Every structure is written in structure tokens, then in C-alpha cells.
Structure 1
Amino acid sequence: MKILMVHPHDLYSPMEPWTIRIVKFAEELARKKHEVRIAYFPMTRCEESSFRGIRVIPLDRTISVWTSIGNAALLCKLSRWADVIHVQKSQFYAVLPAVLAAYWTRKPLHYDWDDWEEKIFYASVRRMRVTAILTGISFRLIEGYLPFLADSVSVASEALRVLAVQRGASKEKVMLVPVGADLQQFRPDRSPDEVRKKYDIKDALLVLYHGQLHSCQYVRLFLEAIKLILKTQDPERLRFMIMGSGSELGALKMFARELGIGGEVIFTDFVPHADIPRYIAAADICVAPFDDNEVTRCKSPLKIVEYMASGKPVVASDVGEVRNMLEGAGLLVEPGNPEAFAKGILKLVGDEALRKTMATAARQRAATKYNWRCSVENLERAYEKSIGG
């Protein structure tokens, strides 16, 4: 099968880490002998190249009518080669040319819906200027109509499956394709020593959060839980690490100082994705805090499956897809509740046998369901439905 993938972000930029899903899809599809090309939108102009063995074609991210026409023309040319056009996310500058190309060349269109972008956008935007209003409208229109227009849809969560059907997609053509972990990168036998030595962690238990630090993450909940934990626990026995970067990093450091725990929390700042497995390997307990809202009910959090594949016990807020993902491989606690989150962490801190049991269950669950091989098997079925029409 020949698959043309279209993605709105820069494959090469650490400033746009939202390309993991499509790159892992492409790598796994290529491993299964499909032909894959990715058309993407770099932050700066560049030439066609090879990315991890996949042919990648840059398009122009400049926002103008003529640029859109040029992108659509190039995608039409590329679409003649393909059996199916795969578009991920809902940025208008990528979706509109992809849809036009698919319809012009009469090729099946597949939509991969992994986040409710409209709700994320409104939760993240700070000032509703004209451009922000127009961007929000574009997300609403695209996510409102694209499930109906596409020949098949893959979704990252059950909540998005329901939304897709409500918005006109045929039930038979909506396929659940959750995030997966790379089982070779994330594995239990990695040594924890390098990272623990770097941060002088020694014999303490390390509780780790990994993820982007922006307004739709819920790290403040973790920080509030840490303050509660340290009221009863020796700081020498427990260490806490927040791995990642983003627009909220400075505010989170300030919030930690306001809580009186600034000296007890390690903020790593940006860590390349290739290095994340080493950091998770250093942890004894991993966490995934969330509130309960429209954004989190639709999420299929990548951090959770990477924790699981690494063989780590997890404390996570019980919202959306999280319960289905963990299923006995972690502790579920009430979302948005720092007291419940602190109790969950303390339960694992005080029970080494439970930590070991959950660690084994986590790796097993990742190996049998939450990995990119399993995800791509479902994606292939969606493509077949699309082509079968």
C-alpha cells in the first residue's frame, strides 16, 4: 500500500514535539513493507529529504491564499502516487490542501484524530485577538466536518470515537488507534544509574512526571500533592522530578517556590525524546495528573504507555482513556484532587511488593496492547475500510 501522510508540524524541530505519533506510524508501516511519504510543514524553508528512512516533503507554512494553492497543487501531484491520503490533526493550512488533493485525485482520505484541538486551543489561548478567534473557528469547522468528509477515521480514545460518529462518520469506518510505546526504546532493563548520578539521587525513591509543560498539562496538581507528601515524609527518602519544558516552566518553578518546595523538586527543562527512556529508567514511581474536563476525557496520554513499557508503577488521575490504558497496571485516583494524588503516591511508596507487581503488569500490558505495532495493525484496518469504500 502507498500512503501519503500529511502533518502540520515540523518533523525536525524540538519546539514541535507533536510528531511522534505520525513518525512512529510511518516507521512501523514501512517495516511492514508499505511505501510511506510524509508531507509536513517545517518552521523554516528546507529541501526534500529522508527522515529515519522515510521520504519527507516540506510544504510552505506561510499563511496566504497563494501558498495554500501551491501546497494543494504539490499535494495533488503527490496524491497521484498514493493509495490513501492520511491527514493528522486539524490545522487548516494542512487539512484544506490535503482534502482538496484527495478529492481532486479521487483518492481515499483518512483522518487521524488524536486530540480535541479546538478545546485544547481555547484552554491554551491567553488573549482572544482576531487571529485567535479565526483559528478557533477553523478548528471548530474542521473537527466538525472532517469526520464526515473522510473515508475512514482513526481516533486515539473512545471519547473521540463518540464525537466522530456524532459528527457524521460511519461507525464501521471509525477505528480506535491509541498511542503506543516503542518497546525497544522503553524497557525495564535500562540502567537508572546515569540519571540518578547526574542529579545526586542516591538511594531515595524517585517520583517522576514526564511531559510538556503548558497550560493543558496539570503539573500544579502534582506540585500540590508533593507539598502534602512532604508534611509526613523525610525529603531524604523521596525525590521528585519534573521532566520537560514548555511555556509554563517558569511559572511552575515559581509555584513550587510559593508552596515552599522549590528545593525539593528537580526541574530538568527540555529533554530530547531519545533521552526520555533513561530518565524514566531512573524513576521508582511515575505520575500522570489530570483534571476532569473535555480535553482530558479525549486524551490517550503518551506518557502513560511509555511509563508502562519501561516497567514502572503509575499513579494517574482516573479520567478519559486512562482507566482503559492502565487496567490494573497502576493506581487510579480522583482527577483534580491533590489529596487523592498524594495518597496514591504514598501507597506505592509504602508498598514495595505492590510496586513490583504493578511494574510487571505495566510492561506486559504495553507489550500486548499499547505499542506502535498494535496501533498500526488497527490503522491498517482503517485504511482497508477507506480503500474498500
Structure 2
Amino acid sequence: MKRILILVENLPSPFDRRVWQEATTLRQAGYEVSIICPTGHGYELRHEVLQGIHIYRYRLPVEAAGAAGYAIEYAIALAMTFALVCKVLFTRGFDAIHACNPPDLFFLIGGFFKLFGKKFLFDHHDLNPELYEAKFGRRDFFYRLMLRLEYLTFRTADVVISTNESYRRIALERGRVAPERVFVVRSGPSLERMKILPSDPRLKCGRRYLVGYVGVMGRQEGIDYLLHAVQHIVKVSKRMDVHFGLVGGGTSLDEMRQLAESLGIAEFVTFTGRIPDADMLAMLNTADVCVNPDVANDMNDKSTMNKIMEYMALGKPIVQFDLTEGRYSAGSASLYARRNDSTDMADKILSLLDDADLRSRMGALGRARVVNKLAWDYEVPKLLTAYKVLWSTTGSTTRRQEHQSTGAG
């Protein structure tokens, strides 16, 4: 029986939905699976076994806020991860490392253990160079460093999993990975998890409509644009019948609460912070419209957002800024506001709230698209195929491909 060790730094398992779906899928396919990840709220145990999967967690003593903070966080995470990798090696063992970014540093661990015959699969979750630019607004030494680390990660990997076609092109062009080693495995929602349930009118706080959001509260998520859209709806359009339920935690949560206060709209917005799945589902099932205010930038334009497909799985019509992968995912299930235009987003939200038939049609189209094409069940064969190719790779084959690719560049 093959043994897989999954490395993830930015979220604990099983809270990280994509990682947990991959882990349980591999376990069901007959693999032994271990995960190394940080602790988090509700996931403080350093070791536990869930559904036959061993989870090893470490505590991060710092929460990154700036470039220096991220450097410290990632250095600590890398050291703690390596220590736990050694622990797993001498207890449960592993035949392959499945590394999820950010950060693009796990190639150091993967490359080290490749010297001892272990396989290394890179699961490409985020475009770190674009993410750095989105957070800090510059292309400096650290941006160029991000590009270099990304390249080294691609070159070290035996197989690459991309979350969409945009990421696959990055692997082929920037990473110079052989096409037959790159597989698109989308983060499709699980229909067992994203269940359509009765609404809870209490979540509307006495108002007629509820607009829902679930996701991270960070700078590139555009929550400030959404709050300015709320201000337009309340102060300019004079609509007092709409409430907004925002689910999720993150480094900008307190800042966004303060912004809502300063804009005079705090009574129209509920910030839940990170909450259990049952409460998140209650909010989304109650919502009349769901929103995705992700900032229009290179990072978000190329990224597939889990929240969009989760909205669709619940049959909810969507309003979002017009981004390439967002439009691919949602299609006709969404209205598309002009990029980074909070007023246009507000107008699109109101147009949907005032047209029940359109909401119903769009919600049905989104639900059907998930059921017939985008659900996680459709990604399972692709993940297992990637692993079939992983086991077939040899050191000589990988080095030969690297030499040919580098020469072609």
C-alpha cells in the first residue's frame, strides 16, 4: 500500500476543504494518508486521526501582516514541517510528498527526500508572485524571489496539479514543466457537504433580503469594495430592506468591522468570523443573493475561487467583478460588475434582489452546472490519474525532461 504525506501551511485540516477532499479521496482509493498542517481555531490537537487519516499539527507563534512577518512565518513553518516530516518518516512512513502552496518553499523538503527515492507532487493552490503583488502593490526583490521559488518548486516536482487552466499555463510557461506531467484538478464542491437546507429568517435581522458572502477577510478579497457597495445601497439608493451576512476570518477582519462603522452601515452587516460549517450553510441557504468582491488583479483573475462554486452548489445567484476564472466557473449563474467598481456592484445586487424570477433562473443554472460538471466527483479520476503518473516517474526521466525543457528555453 502506497503512503502519501500531504504538507499544507496556510490552513488547518480538515478545515481546508480542497486538501481534505483530496486526502479522503486518496484514502478511499486505498492509500495511507498523513497530513502536516498548522493548528487553528477548533483544530488545536497536535495529532488526531479522522476517517483513517493521521493529522499532525504545529503551532505558528506569529500571524503574518507584512513582508517581514510572512518571511518569519514561513521560516518557522518550514522548520516545524520538516521536523514533523521526519517524525512521520520514522513512524508511519511515506512514499510521496504532496505539497500544497503557499509558500513555495516545500520544494526544499521534497527535493531532500527525493534523494532517498521519495516522490514529490506539487499541488498549486496560489500564484505567489501575483499574491505578493496583490498584497503589497509592488514588483521588487521579493517579487522576483517569489518567481524564483515558484520556478524551483516546479522544477523539483515529479508531477504538478493545477487548480484550473490558467494555473496550468503558468506551470507550462513559467515552470517549464512537461505537459504530460501537469494535471488540472479543480476545487469542485462536495454535494454531500454543500447541502440545500431550509432558510433561517433570523439571519436577515428583520429585513426582507439577505446578501451572503463566505471567504477570507483579507486585502485582496475586496471586502472594502463590498462595504462601499453596501454604503451605496443604504445611503444613496435608500434601501433599508437588505442585510449582509459575511462569513469568514482573516487578518483584515477587525479593519473591515471598523470600516463598516466609519461608513455608517454597521447595523446592516453581520461579521460572523470563522464559524462551523452548519452555521455557514445556514447563512448561505438563507441568502437571496451571494457575492464575490475579489479585487480585479492578476492573482484573482487567474484563480478559481471556492466560494463561487459553493454558492452555485446551493442554487444561489451571484454578483462578482468580471474576472476570467470567475466567469468560467459561474457562467450565466452570475452578474458581472465592472472591475473594482463598488457602485456597479451595488446596482447589480439590487437588480437581482428586485427580480425574483431572474434569481430563480440563475440559481438553477448554477446548481445544474455544479451537478453536471463542476462537483468534486468529476475531479476524483483526474487526481487518481495524476498519482498513477507520479508512481511511473523515474529520476532519469525527470532529469531528462528538465534538461530538454531548460535547453528549449
Tell me the TM-score normalised to structure 1 length: 0.84
Counterparts of 1:337-352 in structure 2, within 5 Å, are 337-352=341-356
Return the alpha-carbon distance in structure 1 between the equivalents of residues 314 and 185 of structure 2.
21
In structure 2, the residue matched to 1:305 is 309
CA drift at 1:122: 4.8
Instruction: State whether residues 107 and 156 of structure 2, in contact with CA within 8 Å, keep that contact through their aligned partners in structure 1.
Output: no
Instruction: State whether residues 10 and 38 of structure 2, in contact with CA within 8 Å, keep that contact through their aligned partners in structure 1.
Output: yes
| Distance change >3 Å, CA 249–CA 10, structure 1 → 2 | closer
Residue by residue over 1:302-347, the C-alpha shift from the partner in whole angstroms, topping out at 9 and shown as x without a partner, is 1111111111111111213111101212212222111221222122
Return the alpha-carbon distance in structure 2 between the equivalents of residues 328 and 46 of structure 1.
43
Q: Which amino acid aligns with 1:119?
A: E
Matched, 1:21 2:57: no
In structure 1, the residue matched to 2:7 is 6
Instruction: State whether residues 130 and 299 of structure 2, in contact with CA within 8 Å, keep that contact through their aligned partners in structure 1.
Output: yes
| Distance change >3 Å, CA 2–CA 374, structure 1 → 2 | farther
Q: Which amino acid aligns with 2:6?
A: M
Instruction: Find 1:235's aligned residue among 234, 240, 245.
Output: 240
| Distance change >3 Å, CA 41–CA 205, structure 1 → 2 | closer
Matched, 1:183 2:180: no
Q: Which amino acid aligns with 2:108?
A: L
In structure 2, the residue matched to 1:129 is none
Residue by residue over 1:139-167, the C-alpha shift from the partner in whole angstroms, topping out at 9 and shown as x without a partner, is 44331221122111111132221111112
Name structure 1 gaps, 5 residues minimum.
Answer: 127-131
Higher mean C-alpha displacement, 113-122 vs 330-339: 113-122
CA drift at 1:353: 0.8
Residue by residue over 1:270-297, the C-alpha shift from the partner in whole angstroms, topping out at 9 and shown as x without a partner, is 3234431111011000000122212212
Calculate the aligned-residue CA RMSD, in Å.
Answer: 3.2
Instruction: State whether residues 245 and 272 of structure 2, in contact with CA within 8 Å, keep that contact through their aligned partners in structure 1.
Output: yes
In structure 2, the residue matched to 1:200 is 205
Higher mean C-alpha displacement, 338-347 vs 58-67: 58-67
In structure 1, the residue matched to 2:35 is 38
| Distance change >3 Å, CA 244–CA 311, structure 1 → 2 | same
SS at match of 1:208: strand
Higher mean C-alpha displacement, 306-315 vs 326-335: 326-335
Name structure 2 gaps, 5 residues minimum.
Answer: 61-74, 394-409
SS at match of 1:112: strand
SS at match of 1:328: helix
Instruction: State whether residues 203 and 286 of structure 2, in contact with CA within 8 Å, keep that contact through their aligned partners in structure 1.
Output: no
Q: Which amino acid aligns with 1:156?
A: T
Instruction: Find 1:96's aligned residue among 99, 104, 108.
Output: 108
| Distance change >3 Å, CA 94–CA 40, structure 1 → 2 | farther
In structure 1, the residue matched to 2:128 is 117
Return the alpha-carbon distance in structure 2 between the equivalents of residues 220 and 144 of structure 1.
33
Return the alpha-carbon distance in structure 2 between the equivalents of residues 37 and 72 of structure 1.
10
Q: Which amino acid aligns with 1:161?
A: R
| Distance change >3 Å, CA 253–CA 367, structure 1 → 2 | same
Instruction: State whether residues 80 and 105 of structure 1, in contact with CA within 8 Å, keep that contact through their aligned partners in structure 2.
Output: no
Counterparts of 1:368-379 in structure 2, within 5 Å, are 368-379=372-383
| Distance change >3 Å, CA 88–CA 79, structure 1 → 2 | farther
Return the alpha-carbon distance in structure 2 between the equivalents of residues 347 and 277 of structure 1.
24
Q: Which amino acid aligns with 2:251?
A: S
| Distance change >3 Å, CA 33–CA 253, structure 1 → 2 | same
Matched, 1:157 2:157: no
Higher mean C-alpha displacement, 301-310 vs 262-271: 262-271
Q: Which amino acid aligns with 1:388?
A: S
Counterparts of 1:222-301 in structure 2, within 5 Å, are 222-230=226-234, 231-236=236-241, 238-301=242-305
Higher mean C-alpha displacement, 277-286 vs 55-64: 55-64
| Distance change >3 Å, CA 137–CA 187, structure 1 → 2 | same
Q: Which has the higher helix share?
A: 2
Instruction: State whether residues 13 and 19 of structure 2, in contact with CA within 8 Å, keep that contact through their aligned partners in structure 1.
Output: no
In structure 2, the residue matched to 1:54 is 53
SS at match of 1:154: strand
| Distance change >3 Å, CA 41–CA 140, structure 1 → 2 | farther
Tell me the TM-score normalised to structure 2 length: 0.81
Instruction: State whether residues 9 and 42 of structure 1, in contact with CA within 8 Å, keep that contact through their aligned partners in structure 2.
Output: no
CA drift at 1:60: 8.6
SS at match of 2:221: coil
Q: Which amino acid aligns with 1:51?
A: L
SS at match of 2:244: strand
Q: Which amino acid aligns with 1:154?
A: I
In structure 1, the residue matched to 2:324 is 320
Q: Which amino acid aligns with 2:17?
A: I
Matched, 1:380 2:380: no
Counterparts of 1:331-370 in structure 2, within 5 Å, are 331-370=335-374
Instruction: State whether residues 38 and 55 of structure 1, in contact with CA within 8 Å, keep that contact through their aligned partners in structure 2.
Output: yes
Return the alpha-carbon distance in structure 1 between the equivalents of residues 145 and 277 of structure 2.
30
Return the alpha-carbon distance in structure 2 between the equivalents of residues 47 and 252 of structure 1.
32
Return the alpha-carbon distance in structure 1 between the equivalents of residues 191 and 78 of structure 2.
43
Counting matched residue pairs gives 374
What is the percent sequence identity of the aligned residues? 24
| Distance change >3 Å, CA 317–CA 96, structure 1 → 2 | same
